[in-house]
Each structure stands twice: as structure tokens, then as C-alpha cells.
Amino acid sequence: MKRSYMTAILFILVLAFGLTACGGAKNNKENASGQTSESGTSLSAEPGDDKEAADLYQKLMQKEEDIQSANAKLWEKLFLTIDKDQVVSGDNNNYGDFLLKAIEAAKDQFTSDELKILNDGAGQIREIEEKLTALEEKYPDCVKMPGEGESAAAGNAESGQEKFPDFQGKDLDGKEVNSSELFSGNTVTVVNFWFTTCKPCVGELADLDALNQELAQKGGAVVGINAFTLDGDEGAIAEAKEILSKKGASYQNLWFDSDGDAGRFTAGLYAFPTTYVVDQNGNIVGQPIVGAVTSPEQTKALNALIEQRLLLVKEIPAPYNKSQGMEP
């Protein structure tokens, strides 16, 4: 199994419990023990407002990532021992507890030194998760706000727009799909990242299908990307199609290779579901909607992004409004 896909699967499994998860591992050379002092400082910090909470939240998320990045091969060895079906049926509510349980179950496969590194790292992550949970409860918006030093939209700093990563893939029925044709053919495209065992993800499928029907009248579309189906996993595709059918969701769902730009983009997501609005040029419009769009607040935010894009489309001269078939 490709490393990027394995990383994505771990974070997806963790999120199946509704946990906070970090992004993909980076090439960080720090060792796990070097994180303790700095983590302790952040754990004892108390933000004074939403902005400080968002800054602290991002720093703690980065610390989780750094702890695992420092010994990536060792953590990957642990992840490979985890049975997806067994994990999904678990009842943990803290990422650190989940890791400690996984370490205990696989302890015979590691040396004493390796177990110390894993247990120390998981213990730090458990403390970080407790702090993250407290921040989420006291400052609910801290998850969505950019942290210190982060732009409101990462990517192309000069244009202020982030490009959705290019991909060549297929839909769940095997039809070839490429990103440039997909986006250019719609006035606006709503891209929803989800996975099969994520209850909030599954819970919004019917709403997304209704949105797709509404957008179709305006030349737009909703597309889904189920993270379990990356690399064309046949079993995962069958499961995704079954759930989509049960929920009456008929909009297009796609998969692509996990080792491409879009695959790495998916592995970097730290929460599911996450929904993006993309324009005809493949640019991401505004900020992603993190969490299910079934709540009034999330629905309002998503609709605002869609309307923002549709208003711009109306201003485009007719020859360029391809999706509506308008003539000069």
C-alpha cells in the first residue's frame, strides 16, 4: 500500500470516531522526545480570544504532526497493523488513546526502544487532543479560522487564489474524468470529500444530492470524493456505491491515484467531511466548509460561496459561458 494512502487511511479511521486528526507527515527531523517541552508550553497556554485560540489550535495540530513525522517509518509500521474494520467499531474518543490501544495490541512486533518512542509520542498526543477538545468547546470557530502566519487561502499568493490540484481519474462506474474538463464544464463545482464510515459524511449525502439537482439548473454540479476509494479500491468503491444508493444520492463520485497531487491533497485534509467550491478555471473559491453542510450555519456558508461564484459567471461575456451553451 502506498505511503500517502496509508497515511490518509489512518487519519480517516481516527476521524470515524469524530476525533481531531492532523495532516500528512512532513520531512521533519526532530525526535519525539524533543517535542515535550514545547508541547507543555502550548498545553498550558490559555488564549484570550478567538484569534489566539485559532493560533494555538494550529500550533497543537502541527505538534501532533511533528511527533509522528519524527519517526514516520515507525508510525507507519504501527498503522499497518491496524485493522480498519476493527477500528471503526471501536469506542475511543481521543486520538492518543486510540494510538496507545493500537500500540498495546501490536507490542510484540516492536523492540523495547521502539515501544518507548511510540508510547511517549502517543501520550503526548493524548494530552494535545485533550487541549484541542477544550479549545473546540470554548472557541468553536477556532477549527475554521486561519492560524498565525497563515493566509486566508493558501496557494497562489500573487493571485490570492488556490488551485484545486489537477487529476486524472474515474467515477465509480469507471468513466474517465479529468479535472480540467470537469471544472471548465460547470459554472461552479462543489467538491465534497467524505468516507464510508464517517457518520456526518453519510448524513449529508441526501442534502448534497438535492444541492446537485438545484445546481444542475444553473449549470453547476456536486461531485464527491470518497477517500477510501483512492487508487480504485474495488471493495471500497462497491461499499461507497451501496451507501450512495441507499441515501438516494446519484451525483458523480470520483477517485484518483493517491500518489498524485490530488491524492496528497486528500491525505492532507484533517477533517471529514470537507467541502470545496471550485470555479471554471479550477480555482478554489473562498475557504472550505469543514464539517457537514446539514447545519444552518454551514449551509449558509456554502450557499454564499456558490452565489459568489454564480454572480461572477453572470458577468462573464457570453462566448466564455460554455457550460450554458450561450452563443456570442
What was the pLDDT predicted at 144? 52
pLDDT tens digit sequence for 44-60: 788 888 888 888 888 88
Reply yes or no on whether the pLDDT at 153 is more than 60: no
Whether residue 252 is found in the same domain as residue 296: yes
- Distance (Å, whole) CA 2 – CA 141: 34
Answer whether residue 153 is part of any domain: no
Whether residue 179 is found in the same domain as residue 314: yes
Answer whether residue 156 is part of any domain: no
- Distance (Å, whole) CA 271 – CA 150: 18
Answer whether residue 113 is part of any domain: yes
- Distance (Å, whole) CA 292 – CA 296: 10
Asked if residue 278 lies in contact with residue 153, where contact means CB atoms within 8 angstroms, the answer is no
Reply yes or no on whether the pLDDT at 37 is more than 60: no
Whether residue 133 is found in the same domain as residue 170: no
> Which of 72, 63, 57 lies closest to 38, judged by CA?
63
DSSP structure string for 21-57? -----------GGGGHHHHHHHHH---SSHHHHHHHH
- Distance (Å, whole) CA 224 – CA 188: 14
Share of the chain above pLDDT 90, in %: 39
Q: Which of 143, 177, 204 is the last residue of a domain?
A: 143
**Residue recorded with cell 490559555:** 46
Reply yes or no on whether the pLDDT at 92 is more than 60: no
Containing structural domain, residue 129: 3-143
What was the pLDDT predicted at 85? 43
Is the pLDDT higher at 35 or at 121?
121
What was the pLDDT predicted at 34? 40
The residues that bridge with 253 in the sheet, in sequence order, are 224
User: Amino acid identity of 167?
Assistant: F
Average pLDDT, the chain: 76
Report the pLDDT averaged over residues 202-223: 94
pLDDT tens digit sequence for 167-195: 999 999 999 999 999 999 999 999 999 99
Asked if residue 192 lies in contact with residue 273, where contact means CB atoms within 8 angstroms, the answer is yes
Answer whether residue 34 is part of any domain: yes
Whether residue 71 is found in the same domain as residue 182: no
What was the pLDDT predicted at 314? 58
Asked if residue 282 lies in contact with residue 309, where contact means CB atoms within 8 angstroms, the answer is no
Residue 53: φ, ψ to 5°: -65, -40
Whether residue 107 is found in the same domain as residue 215: no
Whether residue 91 is found in the same domain as residue 189: no
Reply yes or no on whether the pLDDT at 86 is more than 80: no
Residue 291: φ, ψ to 5°: 105, 170
Reply yes or no on whether the pLDDT at 239 is more than 80: yes
User: What is the number of structural domains in the chain?
Assistant: 2
Q: Which of 79, 113, 143 is the last residue of a domain?
A: 143
The confidence band for 298, taking pLDDT boundaries of 50, 70 and 90, is confident
Report the pLDDT averaged over residues 99-113: 90
Whether residue 30 is found in the same domain as residue 172: no
pLDDT tens digit sequence for 4-31: 333 344 444 443 333 333 333 223 323 3
Whether residue 139 is found in the same domain as residue 282: no
Whether residue 190 is found in the same domain as residue 242: yes
Is the pLDDT higher at 63 or at 251?
251
Answer whether residue 123 is part of any domain: yes
Answer whether residue 151 is part of any domain: no
Asked if residue 119 lies in contact with residue 125, where contact means CB atoms within 8 angstroms, the answer is no
Give the CATH number for residue 213: 3.40.30.10
- Distance (Å, whole) CA 30 – CA 34: 7
Answer whether residue 148 is part of any domain: no
Cell numbers standing for residue 42: 502550548
What was the pLDDT predicted at 67? 85
Reply yes or no on whether the pLDDT at 291 is more than 60: yes
> Which of 99, 25, 87 lies closest to 107, judged by CA?
99
Q: Which of 115, 143, 171 is the last residue of a domain?
A: 143
The residues that bridge with 171 in the sheet, in sequence order, are 254
What was the pLDDT predicted at 310? 85
Whether residue 63 is found in the same domain as residue 206: no
Which range in 130-139, 237-246, 299-308 is most confidently predicted, on average pLDDT? 237-246
Answer whether residue 155 is part of any domain: no
Asked if residue 9 lies in contact with residue 88, where contact means CB atoms within 8 angstroms, the answer is no
- Contacts of 25-28 with CB under 8 Å at 24 or more apart are 25/65, 25/68, 25/69, 25/72, 25/75, 26/65, 26/66, 26/69, 27/69, 28/65, 28/66, 28/69, 28/70
pLDDT tens digit sequence for 259-268: 999 998 998 8
Whether residue 220 is found in the same domain as residue 315: yes
Whether residue 85 is found in the same domain as residue 194: no
What was the pLDDT predicted at 290? 85
